[in-house]
Chain A
Amino acid sequence: MRGRCVNMPVRSVLGLVVLCALVLGSVGCRGGQSTRLTAADLTDVSAEMAAALSAAPQVRGRTPGSPAWVVAIDRVENLSSDIISRSEQWYLVEKVRGGLPLAELGRSRNILFVIAAEQLEGLRASGVLGETDAGGVRFGEDRRPTHRMSGVFRSLTRSAPGVARTDAYSVTFTITEIDSGEMVWSDDFLIKRAASGRSWN
């Protein structure tokens, strides 16, 4: 073995630096992927639902002179695989109720959407809702509801063992006439979310 002196070439030094950076670079957070519902999903659903209801034959045939519909909106029910917090559930209701398409229905089709009175009390007590909405409009609790609207989240989960997951969410909105119990409108809205990566990792 000869004892000659070897100077480290720049490429080799850089290589070592890169190697060290690679080793140390793994510290910290990576985002990962999730199939959870997002606020944008809820906003999209509310807009789609309002558009679909506006276009429904049962509604299109109505005029400002038609007998009034006062539709009490219940909190949506969550039967999906994802947690939807109470505030998110009410966010969706408020998005639906306060959205422009449904507000327009009040004027052109004589349909008023209100929050169910028995739920309104609790919401006000817990501070979720004030006396009026952001526009200063009361929630319509003084009006006797003629209809109820309910929403149900469901989902179907498909998992490839540990590495990929797809959740197909459906939200079903239904309007029922209170006196007769007749369902006057119902529609489904779909959201599909997929994620890859090891679920435990």
Chain B
Amino acid sequence: MSRLGFRMLMPCALSVRVLVPVVVLAAAATFGGCSAGGKRVDGTLRTLVDAGEFGLAREHLLERGVERRLGQAEYLLDRARVGTVLLLDGMPEYADEPLSQTYEILRRQGINDGRRGREVLINEDLRYWKGEPFEQAMLYAQIAAQKASLGEWDNARAAAGNSLFLLHDFGVAAGGEPKTVEEVAAERAADDEPVDNGYVTVRTDFALGYLLTGIANDVLLRGAEARDNYQTAVEVRPEVAPVVEAFGAGGWDTVLYVEVGRAPARVLYGDSGELVRYEARWPSDNAPLGVWVDGVPEATLPHVLDLNELSAQARWNNLENVRVAKAALGDALLVGGAAVALSSDDEGAQIAGLGAVLVGLISKLGAHGDPRQLETLPQRAYLVPLRLGDDLRAVRLRVEGRRPVEMVIPGLRGGGESDGPRFVAVRLVEGRGVDPWAKHGGLRYAPTLYEDGGGLVRVPGDDLPYILGGRCVRLPSWDVLRLYQQAGHFAGWTLSDLESLYAEEGIGIDPSPEWDGSGRPPGAHVLEGGSTLVPPDPGTTGFVRLFAGEHPPYRPRSAAVRALAAELNRGGR
């Protein structure tokens, strides 16, 4: 197109002096809105997870929509959110799909490479979210926990091993502790140097990863590799020596992975929010985890992870250079470009100046850090070996600390010889309404056909389905129907009749971890107002919350169940 042609397309030719403010205003409108866009912490998810409402958290994620397009910036974050919430709720089988997809992306390297120059010019929250290094290590640990929960110790070993990647170490501060993000950023700003200069690559100090790798190797009878990892865990974090000693003693048939507290919050600061730091939402302390089995003290062990600590350290963070440089570059381009555009008589220089203004403005307006984070992580974690045997045992967990938390797991048994040790991942939470279920110590609803000492474990009222006013939330089976019929209910019914009743109510009873064939894991449990009867695994926080807690009576949705419930109320059978 000729210059004449261009003029024809622009009937009112604009001067640079007119164009600069126009461009500034247009860009401000465009990118200002962009910088305040929707990529934020999921506050609802955080609130539900903090309160231990993992089923509702899952329901929330499914209702608000999970990013399904691999190429989109939120894909990994959404997979990680769903996967970790499912694991927290005691559904490791259902977590397999989202966490496998999470692993697939974590193992890809260079997803955001080659874009660092452009990142300077654009909001970081438009990058493909891969998390900070500490979040990546934690995700590998979560995947290891999920695989171990399924008895896949070989894959747990592989996942845990991947959490032990090399770190960029920026040295120690005056107190001898690793430098924080802010200390390194301040140093580099003062020296006018990019942050990613002046580091050395070092072995990780992720003790949780070494311990999980050691435990998995122990189970796989790879003693030398187990000892090597245990020893390294103590080298990088001497406080975990009692944990290593406990596992090294052998004889355990159960591994408890206990998470406590709330992950630190990612906070943007600086003139335009271009800097990022983490603020504790759950205080760090050295309170040990106390474990009692059937009322007898069994173990007192220190924590093996403190995310407040990790998230503050520069070696566990990423891309500070971009954040620091972004605002400065934006300022320089904006001021310099405007000066050139407005002062020069040369047409080319004016155009170049205009370009610089535009770029500087975009940079300046876009100069904020990435607010996204994985909201589901804990503040700390413990690992405990136990020998529980074949009988059901009550396991009480308590952390005193500055914010005491406690939970009693009713009915936990150890792993069998053929399947290897049982791995149970739990989260201790606090909040309104937590104590009544966390400390109850028994079952208020019957989730499954539990046997102990040769007899069926019974719960008062478990001879009638919850949807009809009883306390049974077992999946339908012939044995369950027989139990009802022995109590005088459902005479003449078949299993198919019982299944149809749940179908009428729209309640899912298929325990297949196929995401319901629609790409969705089950939503909230029927006890918490949801539509599935699929129970969390025994011993998990989800299991205790649902079946040790008290829930309001069920409100039938279908005419069939309403009629049947009314008939039962009238004394019918």
Among B389-448, those with CB < 8 Å from A are none
Bitwise, A61-89 to B at CB < 8 A (1) or not (0) is: 00000000000000001111111111000
A16: chain B residues within 8 A (beta carbon): 354-355, 358
Q: Is B321 an interface residue (CB 8 A)?
A: no
A198 and B2 in contact, given A19-B359, A28-B71, A83-B100 (Cβ under 8 angstroms): no
CB-based closest 7 A-B pairs: A197-B110, A32-B108, A29-B71, A161-B201, A32-B111, A12-B351, A197-B109
Q: Is A196 an interface residue (CB 8 A)?
A: yes
**A8:B72 contact, CB within 8 angstroms:** no
Among B1-27, those with CB < 8 Å from A are 1-3, 5-7, 10, 13-17, 19
Other-chain contact of A26, B119, B158, B161, B350 (Cβ < 8 Å)? B119
Query: Which secondary structure dominates where chain A touches chain B?
Result: loop
Q: Is B318 an interface residue (CB 8 A)?
A: yes
**A30:B351 contact, CB within 8 angstroms:** no
Shortest Cβ distance from B220 into A: residue: A79
Q: Is A22 an interface residue (CB 8 A)?
A: yes
A6 and B165 in contact, given A28-B73, A199-B109 (Cβ under 8 angstroms): no
**B201:A24 contact, CB within 8 angstroms:** no
Other-chain contact of A84, B107, B155, B350, B359 (Cβ < 8 Å)? B155
Shortest Cβ distance from A155 into B: residue: B158
User: What are 7 A-B contacts defined by CB distance under 8 Å?
Assistant: A3-B15, A6-B15, A15-B351, A32-B111, A34-B104, A195-B108, A195-B110
**B355:A201 contact, CB within 8 angstroms:** no
**B110:A32 contact, CB within 8 angstroms:** yes
Within the complex, the shortest CB–CB distance from A151 to chain B, in Å, comes to 12
**A82:B119 contact, CB within 8 angstroms:** no
**B75:A83 contact, CB within 8 angstroms:** no
Q: Is B54 an interface residue (CB 8 A)?
A: no
Q: Is B126 an interface residue (CB 8 A)?
A: yes
Q: Is A165 an interface residue (CB 8 A)?
A: yes
**B110:A162 contact, CB within 8 angstroms:** no
Q: Is B168 an interface residue (CB 8 A)?
A: yes
**B7:A7 contact, CB within 8 angstroms:** yes
Within the complex, the shortest CB–CB distance from A164 to chain B, in Å, comes to 8
B350: chain A residues within 8 A (beta carbon): 6
A19: chain B residues within 8 A (beta carbon): 355, 358-359
Other-chain contact of B166, A5, A30, A161 (Cβ < 8 Å)? A161
**B128:A1 contact, CB within 8 angstroms:** no
**A9:B1 contact, CB within 8 angstroms:** no
Q: Is B113 an interface residue (CB 8 A)?
A: yes
Other-chain contact of A23, B19, B70, B71, B362 (Cβ < 8 Å)? B362
Q: Is A13 an interface residue (CB 8 A)?
A: yes
**B115:A30 contact, CB within 8 angstroms:** yes
Bitwise, A2-43 to B at CB < 8 A (1) or not (0) is: 110111111011011001101111111111111110000000
Q: Is B122 an interface residue (CB 8 A)?
A: yes
Q: Is B147 an interface residue (CB 8 A)?
A: yes
B348: chain A residues within 8 A (beta carbon): 12
A31: chain B residues within 8 A (beta carbon): 108, 111
Q: Is B118 an interface residue (CB 8 A)?
A: yes
Within the complex, the shortest CB–CB distance from B70 to chain A, in Å, comes to 6
**A199:B165 contact, CB within 8 angstroms:** yes
Q: Is B49 an interface residue (CB 8 A)?
A: no
Q: Which of A82, A86, A200 has the most CB of B within 10 A?
A: A200
A29 and B118 in contact, given A6-B350, A10-B1, A81-B161 (Cβ under 8 angstroms): no
Other-chain contact of B110, A9, A23, A84, A201 (Cβ < 8 Å)? A201
A132: chain B residues within 8 A (beta carbon): none
A77: chain B residues within 8 A (beta carbon): 154
**Considering the chains assembled together, what is the distance between the CA atoms of A35 and B154 in angstroms?**
18
A197: chain B residues within 8 A (beta carbon): 108-111, 113
Other-chain contact of A9, B3, B15, B166, B220 (Cβ < 8 Å)? B3
B113: chain A residues within 8 A (beta carbon): 30, 32, 197-198, 201
A161: chain B residues within 8 A (beta carbon): 166, 201
Within the complex, the shortest CB–CB distance from A82 to chain B, in Å, comes to 6
Number of interface residues of B (CB under 8 A): 70
Q: Is B323 an interface residue (CB 8 A)?
A: no
Within the complex, the shortest CB–CB distance from B471 to chain A, in Å, comes to 30
A12: chain B residues within 8 A (beta carbon): 348, 351, 355
A20: chain B residues within 8 A (beta carbon): 358
**B345:A1 contact, CB within 8 angstroms:** yes
Q: Is B343 an interface residue (CB 8 A)?
A: yes
**B345:A2 contact, CB within 8 angstroms:** yes
Q: Is B248 an interface residue (CB 8 A)?
A: no
**Considering the chains assembled together, what is the distance between the CA atoms of A25 and B362 in angstroms?**
14
> Can you add 8 more A-B contacts, CB < 8 Å, to A7-B3, A29-B72, A162-B166?
A2-B345, A7-B14, A28-B72, A29-B73, A30-B112, A30-B115, A32-B113, A200-B318
Other-chain contact of A162, B158, B201, B355 (Cβ < 8 Å)? B201
A9: chain B residues within 8 A (beta carbon): 3, 6, 347, 351
A22 and B108 in contact, given A83-B103, A159-B166 (Cβ under 8 angstroms): no
Q: Is B162 an interface residue (CB 8 A)?
A: yes
**Considering the chains assembled together, what is the distance between the CA atoms of A78 and B159 in angstroms?**
12
B115: chain A residues within 8 A (beta carbon): 26, 30
Q: Which of A24, A29, A35 has the most CB of B within 10 A?
A: A29
A163: chain B residues within 8 A (beta carbon): 109
Bitwise, B81-118 to A at CB < 8 A (1) or not (0) is: 00000000000000000001001110111111111001
A35: chain B residues within 8 A (beta carbon): 107
Other-chain contact of B109, A79, A86, A201 (Cβ < 8 Å)? A201
Other-chain contact of A7, B13, B100, B105, B111 (Cβ < 8 Å)? B13
Bitwise, B39-57 to A at CB < 8 A (1) or not (0) is: 0000000000000000000
B7: chain A residues within 8 A (beta carbon): 7
Among B331-365, those with CB < 8 Å from A are 342-343, 345, 347-348, 350-351, 354-355, 358-359, 362
B14: chain A residues within 8 A (beta carbon): 7-8
**Considering the chains assembled together, what is the distance between the CA atoms of A9 and B5 in angstroms?**
10
A23 and B3 in contact, given A1-B345, A7-B10 (Cβ under 8 angstroms): no
**B318:A27 contact, CB within 8 angstroms:** no
**A201:B111 contact, CB within 8 angstroms:** yes
**B107:A200 contact, CB within 8 angstroms:** no
**A29:B3 contact, CB within 8 angstroms:** no
Q: Which of B111, B115, B157 has the most CB of A within 10 A?
A: B111
Within the complex, the shortest CB–CB distance from B225 to chain A, in Å, comes to 9
Q: Is B152 an interface residue (CB 8 A)?
A: yes
Within the complex, the shortest CB–CB distance from B151 to chain A, in Å, comes to 10
Q: Is B138 an interface residue (CB 8 A)?
A: no
Within the complex, the shortest CB–CB distance from B250 to chain A, in Å, comes to 21
**Considering the chains assembled together, what is the distance between the CA atoms of A165 and B166 in angstroms?**
12
A196: chain B residues within 8 A (beta carbon): 109-110
A198 and B110 in contact, given A23-B122, A81-B158, A161-B166 (Cβ under 8 angstroms): yes
**A82:B158 contact, CB within 8 angstroms:** yes
Bitwise, A128-150 to B at CB < 8 A (1) or not (0) is: 00000000000000000000000
